[in-house]
Structure 1
Amino acid sequence: MPFAILQPVLIPDLHDIATMKAADKVIIQNTETWSRKGRTHRALIRTPEGTDYLNVPVVSADKKKEIRYVRINHDEDWIEPILRSLKFNYSNSVYYDFYEPEIASLFWGGRDFDCLINFSAHIKNRLFEFLEIRDEIKAEFILSSEMPSYDPDPDQLSDVLSDDIYFQEHDARHYQRQGENKSTLPFTHPQYRQHFDGFEPYCCLLDLLFQYGPESFRVIDQV
Protein backbone atom coordinates (compact mmCIF):
# COMPACT_ATOMS: atom_id res chain seq x y z
CA MET A 1 0.00 0.00 0.00
CA PRO A 2 1.19 3.59 -0.64
CA PHE A 3 2.25 5.79 2.22
CA ALA A 4 2.08 9.56 2.59
CA ILE A 5 4.54 12.12 3.92
CA LEU A 6 2.77 15.17 5.31
CA GLN A 7 3.71 18.02 7.58
CA PRO A 8 1.29 19.09 10.32
CA VAL A 9 -1.21 21.67 9.05
CA LEU A 10 -3.44 24.01 11.02
CA ILE A 11 -6.57 22.82 9.19
CA PRO A 12 -6.52 20.17 6.43
CA ASP A 13 -7.99 20.69 2.96
CA LEU A 14 -9.58 18.22 0.54
CA HIS A 15 -6.26 17.27 -1.04
CA ASP A 16 -4.97 16.35 2.41
CA ILE A 17 -8.04 14.18 2.94
CA ALA A 18 -7.57 12.48 -0.43
CA THR A 19 -3.92 11.78 0.42
CA MET A 20 -4.83 10.31 3.80
CA LYS A 21 -7.52 8.13 2.24
CA ALA A 22 -5.11 6.83 -0.41
CA ALA A 23 -2.40 5.83 2.07
CA ASP A 24 -1.81 2.88 4.33
CA LYS A 25 0.51 4.93 6.55
CA VAL A 26 0.76 8.69 7.00
CA ILE A 27 4.13 9.94 8.22
CA ILE A 28 3.69 13.27 10.00
CA GLN A 29 6.95 15.21 9.74
CA ASN A 30 7.08 16.88 13.11
CA THR A 31 10.90 16.80 13.14
CA GLU A 32 11.35 19.09 10.13
CA THR A 33 12.35 22.72 10.64
CA TRP A 34 9.38 25.07 10.86
CA SER A 35 8.81 27.24 7.78
CA ARG A 36 6.69 30.34 7.43
CA LYS A 37 5.81 29.09 3.94
CA GLY A 38 4.21 25.95 5.31
CA ARG A 39 0.68 25.43 6.63
CA THR A 40 1.49 24.47 10.21
CA HIS A 41 0.29 27.88 11.41
CA ARG A 42 -2.19 28.96 8.75
CA ALA A 43 -5.26 27.84 6.81
CA LEU A 44 -6.74 29.09 3.53
CA ILE A 45 -10.29 30.48 3.55
CA ARG A 46 -12.63 31.95 0.92
CA THR A 47 -13.06 35.72 0.71
CA PRO A 48 -14.96 38.06 -1.63
CA GLU A 49 -11.68 38.86 -3.42
CA GLY A 50 -10.55 35.22 -3.65
CA THR A 51 -8.73 33.68 -0.70
CA ASP A 52 -6.83 34.65 2.43
CA TYR A 53 -5.20 32.93 5.40
CA LEU A 54 -6.16 32.48 9.01
CA ASN A 55 -2.92 32.77 11.00
CA VAL A 56 -1.81 31.57 14.40
CA PRO A 57 1.31 33.47 15.58
CA VAL A 58 4.33 31.51 16.75
CA VAL A 59 7.02 32.45 19.24
CA SER A 60 9.80 34.20 17.32
CA ALA A 61 12.53 32.27 19.12
CA ASP A 62 11.00 29.00 17.88
CA LYS A 63 11.02 29.76 14.16
CA LYS A 64 14.24 27.84 13.55
CA LYS A 65 13.22 24.86 15.64
CA GLU A 66 11.65 21.56 14.66
CA ILE A 67 7.89 21.78 14.15
CA ARG A 68 7.17 19.74 17.26
CA TYR A 69 8.81 22.39 19.47
CA VAL A 70 7.16 25.47 17.99
CA ARG A 71 4.94 27.29 20.48
CA ILE A 72 1.92 29.51 19.96
CA ASN A 73 2.65 33.16 20.77
CA HIS A 74 -0.09 33.87 23.29
CA ASP A 75 1.28 37.36 23.85
CA GLU A 76 -0.48 38.30 20.62
CA ASP A 77 -4.24 38.72 20.28
CA TRP A 78 -4.86 36.04 17.64
CA ILE A 79 -8.15 34.32 18.50
CA GLU A 80 -10.51 37.27 18.10
CA PRO A 81 -9.03 38.27 14.70
CA ILE A 82 -9.55 34.70 13.44
CA LEU A 83 -13.15 34.64 14.65
CA ARG A 84 -13.84 38.09 13.15
CA SER A 85 -12.42 36.92 9.84
CA LEU A 86 -14.61 33.82 9.87
CA LYS A 87 -17.69 35.89 10.69
CA PHE A 88 -16.95 38.47 7.99
CA ASN A 89 -16.33 35.87 5.30
CA TYR A 90 -18.75 33.10 6.26
CA SER A 91 -21.71 34.61 8.12
CA ASN A 92 -23.85 34.19 5.00
CA SER A 93 -22.94 30.54 4.57
CA VAL A 94 -25.77 28.07 5.05
CA TYR A 95 -24.44 26.36 8.18
CA TYR A 96 -22.33 29.14 9.70
CA ASP A 97 -24.78 29.90 12.52
CA PHE A 98 -25.10 26.19 13.33
CA TYR A 99 -21.36 25.53 13.65
CA GLU A 100 -20.10 28.95 14.76
CA PRO A 101 -20.41 28.25 18.52
CA GLU A 102 -18.46 24.99 18.17
CA ILE A 103 -15.75 26.55 16.00
CA ALA A 104 -15.45 29.58 18.29
CA SER A 105 -15.08 27.27 21.28
CA LEU A 106 -12.46 25.30 19.38
CA PHE A 107 -10.32 28.38 18.77
CA TRP A 108 -10.82 29.82 22.25
CA GLY A 109 -9.60 26.46 23.49
CA GLY A 110 -6.33 27.25 21.77
CA ARG A 111 -5.39 29.23 24.89
CA ASP A 112 -4.89 25.90 26.66
CA PHE A 113 -2.24 24.71 24.19
CA ASP A 114 1.42 25.59 24.36
CA CYS A 115 2.73 23.79 21.26
CA LEU A 116 1.18 24.56 17.90
CA ILE A 117 1.26 20.95 16.71
CA ASN A 118 -0.94 19.81 19.60
CA PHE A 119 -3.49 22.52 18.86
CA SER A 120 -3.62 21.65 15.15
CA ALA A 121 -4.06 17.94 15.98
CA HIS A 122 -6.98 18.88 18.22
CA ILE A 123 -8.60 20.95 15.46
CA LYS A 124 -8.18 18.10 12.95
CA ASN A 125 -9.77 15.56 15.27
CA ARG A 126 -12.76 17.78 16.03
CA LEU A 127 -13.34 18.66 12.37
CA PHE A 128 -13.19 14.97 11.43
CA GLU A 129 -15.94 14.43 13.99
CA PHE A 130 -18.08 17.29 12.65
CA LEU A 131 -17.64 16.01 9.08
CA GLU A 132 -18.07 12.36 10.12
CA ILE A 133 -15.04 11.21 8.15
CA ARG A 134 -12.94 9.64 10.89
CA ASP A 135 -13.95 6.10 9.86
CA GLU A 136 -13.20 6.78 6.19
CA ILE A 137 -9.50 7.27 6.86
CA LYS A 138 -7.97 3.88 7.58
CA ALA A 139 -4.33 4.98 7.50
CA GLU A 140 -2.03 4.59 10.47
CA PHE A 141 -0.64 7.98 11.56
CA ILE A 142 3.00 7.95 12.64
CA LEU A 143 5.03 10.88 13.96
CA SER A 144 8.49 11.06 12.46
CA SER A 145 9.84 11.73 15.97
CA GLU A 146 8.63 8.27 17.00
CA MET A 147 10.29 6.44 14.09
CA PRO A 148 13.77 5.13 15.00
CA SER A 149 14.40 4.56 11.29
CA TYR A 150 13.01 7.87 10.04
CA ASP A 151 14.96 9.48 7.20
CA PRO A 152 14.18 13.06 6.04
CA ASP A 153 15.00 12.05 2.46
CA PRO A 154 11.67 10.78 1.04
CA ASP A 155 13.34 8.29 -1.28
CA GLN A 156 15.47 6.89 1.53
CA LEU A 157 12.38 6.68 3.73
CA SER A 158 10.68 4.75 0.96
CA ASP A 159 13.53 2.23 1.08
CA VAL A 160 13.29 1.99 4.86
CA LEU A 161 9.56 1.26 4.69
CA SER A 162 9.97 -1.02 1.64
CA ASP A 163 7.17 0.87 -0.10
CA ASP A 164 7.79 2.14 -3.63
CA ILE A 165 4.73 4.35 -3.85
CA TYR A 166 4.43 7.44 -1.71
CA PHE A 167 2.65 10.78 -1.87
CA GLN A 168 3.64 14.17 -0.50
CA GLU A 169 1.87 17.37 0.42
CA HIS A 170 0.59 19.31 -2.57
CA ASP A 171 2.37 22.47 -3.70
CA ALA A 172 4.92 22.10 -0.91
CA ARG A 173 8.20 22.40 -2.78
CA HIS A 174 9.13 25.60 -0.93
CA TYR A 175 9.06 24.01 2.52
CA GLN A 176 8.97 20.21 2.18
CA ARG A 177 11.87 18.22 0.76
CA GLN A 178 10.65 16.61 -2.45
CA GLY A 179 11.49 13.06 -3.37
CA GLU A 180 12.65 12.24 -6.88
CA ASN A 181 10.53 9.09 -6.93
CA LYS A 182 7.35 10.47 -5.38
CA SER A 183 4.07 9.51 -6.99
CA THR A 184 1.41 11.92 -8.17
CA LEU A 185 -1.90 11.46 -6.43
CA PRO A 186 -4.71 11.05 -8.99
CA PHE A 187 -6.68 14.01 -7.69
CA THR A 188 -9.17 16.36 -9.28
CA HIS A 189 -10.40 18.99 -6.86
CA PRO A 190 -14.20 18.72 -6.64
CA GLN A 191 -16.00 21.96 -7.30
CA TYR A 192 -18.80 22.77 -4.90
CA ARG A 193 -21.05 25.73 -4.25
CA GLN A 194 -19.17 28.39 -2.31
CA HIS A 195 -20.80 31.45 -0.75
CA PHE A 196 -19.10 33.88 -3.16
CA ASP A 197 -19.18 33.84 -6.97
CA GLY A 198 -16.74 31.51 -8.66
CA PHE A 199 -14.77 28.70 -7.07
CA GLU A 200 -11.44 28.74 -5.25
CA PRO A 201 -9.85 25.31 -4.65
CA TYR A 202 -7.72 24.20 -1.69
CA CYS A 203 -9.63 26.11 0.95
CA CYS A 204 -9.48 24.45 4.36
CA LEU A 205 -12.27 22.19 5.61
CA LEU A 206 -14.02 25.06 7.39
CA ASP A 207 -15.06 26.33 3.95
CA LEU A 208 -16.88 23.08 3.25
CA LEU A 209 -18.29 22.71 6.76
CA PHE A 210 -19.88 26.17 6.87
CA GLN A 211 -21.45 25.75 3.46
CA TYR A 212 -22.53 22.11 3.46
CA GLY A 213 -22.63 21.05 7.09
CA PRO A 214 -23.91 17.45 7.41
CA GLU A 215 -24.10 17.20 3.62
CA SER A 216 -20.32 17.66 3.31
CA PHE A 217 -19.94 13.93 2.68
CA ARG A 218 -21.37 14.48 -0.81
CA VAL A 219 -18.21 16.45 -1.66
CA ILE A 220 -15.77 14.40 0.40
CA ASP A 221 -16.94 11.22 -1.29
CA GLN A 222 -15.64 12.63 -4.59
CA VAL A 223 -12.00 12.69 -3.42
Structure 2
Amino acid sequence: MKRRLFLCTGLALMLTANTAFASPTLREGSQGHEVRVLQQALQTAGYKIKNADGVFGKDTERAVAEFQRDNKLKITGIVNNATWRALKNIPAKPSRDVDKNTTAEKKFPPAPNGKPILPVNKVSDVIKTAKSYMGTPYVFGGATPKGFDCSGYLQYVFQKHGIAIPRTTDEQYKLGLRTKNTKDLVPGDLVFFETYEKGASHCGIYLGKGEFIHASTSKGVRVDTLSNDYWKPRFLGGKHIVK
Protein backbone atom coordinates (compact mmCIF):
# COMPACT_ATOMS: atom_id res chain seq x y z
CA MET A 1 0.00 0.00 0.00
CA LYS A 2 1.36 3.39 -0.92
CA ARG A 3 2.04 5.53 2.14
CA ARG A 4 0.79 9.11 2.31
CA LEU A 5 2.34 11.91 4.29
CA PHE A 6 0.44 14.90 5.67
CA LEU A 7 2.84 17.80 5.72
CA CYS A 8 2.76 21.17 7.37
CA THR A 9 4.63 23.66 5.25
CA GLY A 10 5.69 25.42 8.39
CA LEU A 11 8.64 23.20 9.31
CA ALA A 12 11.24 25.26 11.13
CA LEU A 13 14.36 23.91 9.47
CA MET A 14 17.82 25.46 9.71
CA LEU A 15 19.41 27.17 6.70
CA THR A 16 23.05 26.48 6.12
CA ALA A 17 25.18 29.57 6.50
CA ASN A 18 26.35 29.70 2.91
CA THR A 19 23.41 28.26 0.97
CA ALA A 20 20.53 30.70 1.04
CA PHE A 21 17.10 29.09 1.06
CA ALA A 22 18.55 25.59 0.51
CA SER A 23 17.06 22.68 2.39
CA PRO A 24 19.48 21.13 4.87
CA THR A 25 21.19 17.97 3.63
CA LEU A 26 20.81 15.25 6.25
CA ARG A 27 22.58 11.91 6.37
CA GLU A 28 23.73 9.26 8.83
CA GLY A 29 25.41 11.07 11.71
CA SER A 30 23.38 14.29 11.37
CA GLN A 31 21.77 15.54 14.57
CA GLY A 32 19.36 18.26 15.66
CA HIS A 33 15.87 19.66 15.23
CA GLU A 34 15.81 19.10 11.47
CA VAL A 35 16.46 15.40 11.97
CA ARG A 36 13.72 15.19 14.59
CA VAL A 37 11.23 16.84 12.21
CA LEU A 38 12.28 14.45 9.46
CA GLN A 39 11.81 11.47 11.76
CA GLN A 40 8.36 12.63 12.87
CA ALA A 41 7.39 13.14 9.24
CA LEU A 42 8.45 9.65 8.31
CA GLN A 43 6.70 8.16 11.35
CA THR A 44 3.49 9.99 10.48
CA ALA A 45 3.75 8.60 6.97
CA GLY A 46 4.00 5.07 8.32
CA TYR A 47 7.73 4.51 7.98
CA LYS A 48 9.18 2.65 10.96
CA ILE A 49 11.62 4.62 13.11
CA LYS A 50 12.10 3.47 16.70
CA ASN A 51 12.66 6.92 18.24
CA ALA A 52 12.33 10.46 16.90
CA ASP A 53 15.39 11.46 18.88
CA GLY A 54 17.04 13.89 16.48
CA VAL A 55 19.87 11.47 15.67
CA PHE A 56 20.13 10.24 12.07
CA GLY A 57 20.92 6.56 12.52
CA LYS A 58 20.56 3.42 10.43
CA ASP A 59 16.80 3.13 10.95
CA THR A 60 16.28 6.72 9.78
CA GLU A 61 18.49 6.09 6.76
CA ARG A 62 16.43 3.01 5.92
CA ALA A 63 13.15 4.92 6.28
CA VAL A 64 14.43 7.73 4.05
CA ALA A 65 15.45 5.21 1.41
CA GLU A 66 11.98 3.65 1.54
CA PHE A 67 10.36 7.07 1.19
CA GLN A 68 12.59 7.85 -1.79
CA ARG A 69 11.69 4.51 -3.38
CA ASP A 70 7.96 5.10 -2.88
CA ASN A 71 8.21 8.59 -4.39
CA LYS A 72 10.38 7.58 -7.36
CA LEU A 73 13.44 9.47 -6.16
CA LYS A 74 17.05 8.35 -6.40
CA ILE A 75 17.50 5.97 -3.47
CA THR A 76 20.43 7.23 -1.42
CA GLY A 77 19.21 7.37 2.17
CA ILE A 78 20.40 10.97 2.15
CA VAL A 79 17.85 13.80 2.51
CA ASN A 80 18.62 16.38 -0.17
CA ASN A 81 16.60 19.15 -1.83
CA ALA A 82 14.65 16.71 -3.98
CA THR A 83 13.59 14.68 -0.95
CA TRP A 84 12.52 17.80 0.98
CA ARG A 85 10.51 18.95 -2.04
CA ALA A 86 8.77 15.58 -2.21
CA LEU A 87 7.87 15.88 1.47
CA LYS A 88 6.59 19.44 1.05
CA ASN A 89 4.46 18.69 -1.99
CA ILE A 90 2.41 15.97 -0.33
CA PRO A 91 -1.00 17.38 0.72
CA ALA A 92 -1.51 18.72 4.21
CA LYS A 93 -3.99 17.00 6.51
CA PRO A 94 -7.17 18.98 7.08
CA SER A 95 -7.89 19.87 10.68
CA ARG A 96 -11.06 19.35 12.67
CA ASP A 97 -12.43 21.50 15.45
CA VAL A 98 -14.03 19.03 17.84
CA ASP A 99 -15.97 19.98 20.95
CA LYS A 100 -15.81 17.78 24.05
CA ASN A 101 -19.49 16.96 23.68
CA THR A 102 -19.65 16.31 19.96
CA THR A 103 -17.60 14.83 17.16
CA ALA A 104 -19.17 17.05 14.50
CA GLU A 105 -16.81 19.19 12.49
CA LYS A 106 -17.63 22.88 12.66
CA LYS A 107 -17.62 24.62 9.31
CA PHE A 108 -17.14 28.33 8.75
CA PRO A 109 -16.82 30.35 5.53
CA PRO A 110 -13.17 30.64 4.44
CA ALA A 111 -11.43 33.86 5.43
CA PRO A 112 -10.75 36.14 2.45
CA ASN A 113 -7.19 36.86 1.38
CA GLY A 114 -5.61 40.29 1.35
CA LYS A 115 -7.71 41.96 4.04
CA PRO A 116 -8.06 42.06 7.84
CA ILE A 117 -10.16 39.19 9.19
CA LEU A 118 -9.89 39.37 12.99
CA PRO A 119 -12.23 41.82 14.79
CA VAL A 120 -10.29 43.81 17.35
CA ASN A 121 -12.76 42.78 20.06
CA LYS A 122 -11.80 39.13 19.50
CA VAL A 123 -8.04 39.61 19.78
CA SER A 124 -7.75 39.00 23.52
CA ASP A 125 -9.87 35.86 23.28
CA VAL A 126 -7.82 34.49 20.38
CA ILE A 127 -4.59 35.10 22.30
CA LYS A 128 -6.08 33.52 25.42
CA THR A 129 -6.99 30.43 23.41
CA ALA A 130 -3.55 30.33 21.82
CA LYS A 131 -1.87 30.47 25.23
CA SER A 132 -4.13 27.76 26.63
CA TYR A 133 -2.23 25.24 24.50
CA MET A 134 1.22 26.20 25.82
CA GLY A 135 3.39 23.11 26.03
CA THR A 136 1.33 21.06 23.56
CA PRO A 137 3.87 18.91 21.74
CA TYR A 138 4.90 19.42 18.15
CA VAL A 139 3.55 16.66 15.93
CA PHE A 140 4.32 16.58 12.24
CA GLY A 141 1.02 17.15 10.43
CA GLY A 142 -0.72 17.75 13.76
CA ALA A 143 -3.79 19.97 13.90
CA THR A 144 -5.42 19.06 17.22
CA PRO A 145 -4.56 19.54 20.92
CA LYS A 146 -2.94 16.10 20.86
CA GLY A 147 -0.16 17.73 18.88
CA PHE A 148 0.27 20.67 16.50
CA ASP A 149 2.54 21.70 13.70
CA CYS A 150 2.85 25.44 13.17
CA SER A 151 0.11 26.04 10.61
CA GLY A 152 -2.19 23.42 12.12
CA TYR A 153 -1.92 25.28 15.43
CA LEU A 154 -2.92 28.61 13.89
CA GLN A 155 -5.80 27.08 11.98
CA TYR A 156 -7.13 25.35 15.09
CA VAL A 157 -6.92 28.47 17.28
CA PHE A 158 -8.70 30.71 14.79
CA GLN A 159 -11.33 28.10 14.02
CA LYS A 160 -12.21 28.11 17.73
CA HIS A 161 -13.37 31.69 17.17
CA GLY A 162 -15.29 31.11 13.97
CA ILE A 163 -12.52 32.15 11.57
CA ALA A 164 -11.55 29.55 8.96
CA ILE A 165 -8.00 30.11 7.75
CA PRO A 166 -6.10 27.82 5.35
CA ARG A 167 -4.21 24.75 6.57
CA THR A 168 -0.74 25.48 5.19
CA THR A 169 1.72 28.27 5.97
CA ASP A 170 2.11 29.43 2.38
CA GLU A 171 -1.66 29.81 2.05
CA GLN A 172 -1.94 31.54 5.43
CA TYR A 173 0.65 34.03 4.20
CA LYS A 174 -1.94 35.28 1.69
CA LEU A 175 -4.14 36.56 4.53
CA GLY A 176 -4.16 40.15 5.73
CA LEU A 177 -2.01 43.11 4.72
CA ARG A 178 1.73 42.63 4.49
CA THR A 179 4.10 44.57 6.72
CA LYS A 180 7.88 44.15 6.94
CA ASN A 181 8.20 46.59 9.83
CA THR A 182 7.66 44.91 13.17
CA LYS A 183 6.64 48.26 14.66
CA ASP A 184 3.47 48.11 12.55
CA LEU A 185 2.37 44.79 14.08
CA VAL A 186 -0.38 44.67 16.68
CA PRO A 187 -1.36 41.77 18.96
CA GLY A 188 -3.34 39.21 16.98
CA ASP A 189 -1.45 39.73 13.72
CA LEU A 190 0.41 36.86 12.08
CA VAL A 191 4.17 36.57 11.71
CA PHE A 192 5.99 34.46 9.11
CA PHE A 193 9.49 33.13 8.71
CA GLU A 194 11.60 31.91 5.81
CA THR A 195 13.35 28.83 7.13
CA TYR A 196 14.12 25.85 4.92
CA GLU A 197 13.33 27.37 1.53
CA LYS A 198 12.38 30.65 -0.11
CA GLY A 199 8.95 31.86 1.01
CA ALA A 200 6.82 31.43 4.12
CA SER A 201 7.53 28.13 5.87
CA HIS A 202 6.89 28.88 9.56
CA CYS A 203 4.26 31.01 11.29
CA GLY A 204 2.97 32.30 14.61
CA ILE A 205 0.64 34.78 16.28
CA TYR A 206 2.06 38.13 17.37
CA LEU A 207 1.48 38.88 21.07
CA GLY A 208 2.95 42.38 21.28
CA LYS A 209 6.23 43.68 22.73
CA GLY A 210 8.21 41.73 20.17
CA GLU A 211 6.86 38.34 21.22
CA PHE A 212 4.98 35.68 19.26
CA ILE A 213 3.47 32.31 20.09
CA HIS A 214 3.95 29.32 17.79
CA ALA A 215 4.31 25.56 17.61
CA SER A 216 8.06 25.01 17.65
CA THR A 217 9.60 21.75 16.50
CA SER A 218 11.75 21.41 19.61
CA LYS A 219 9.47 22.41 22.51
CA GLY A 220 5.96 22.50 21.09
CA VAL A 221 3.72 25.51 21.64
CA ARG A 222 5.77 28.28 23.23
CA VAL A 223 6.47 32.01 23.20
CA ASP A 224 9.59 33.39 21.51
CA THR A 225 10.86 36.84 20.56
CA LEU A 226 11.29 38.22 17.07
CA SER A 227 14.75 39.38 18.16
CA ASN A 228 15.82 35.81 18.93
CA ASP A 229 19.11 34.90 17.22
CA TYR A 230 17.41 32.14 15.25
CA TRP A 231 14.18 33.90 14.29
CA LYS A 232 15.41 37.44 13.59
CA PRO A 233 17.39 36.66 10.41
CA ARG A 234 14.59 34.41 9.16
CA PHE A 235 11.74 36.87 9.70
CA LEU A 236 9.89 37.18 6.40
CA GLY A 237 7.26 39.65 7.49
CA GLY A 238 4.01 40.13 9.33
CA LYS A 239 0.45 40.08 8.04
CA HIS A 240 -1.90 42.62 9.59
CA ILE A 241 -5.18 40.75 10.08
CA VAL A 242 -6.77 42.77 12.90
CA LYS A 243 -9.60 45.04 11.84
What range is the shorter-chain TM-score in? under 0.3
- The alignment's TM-score, normalised by the length of structure 1, stands at 0.26
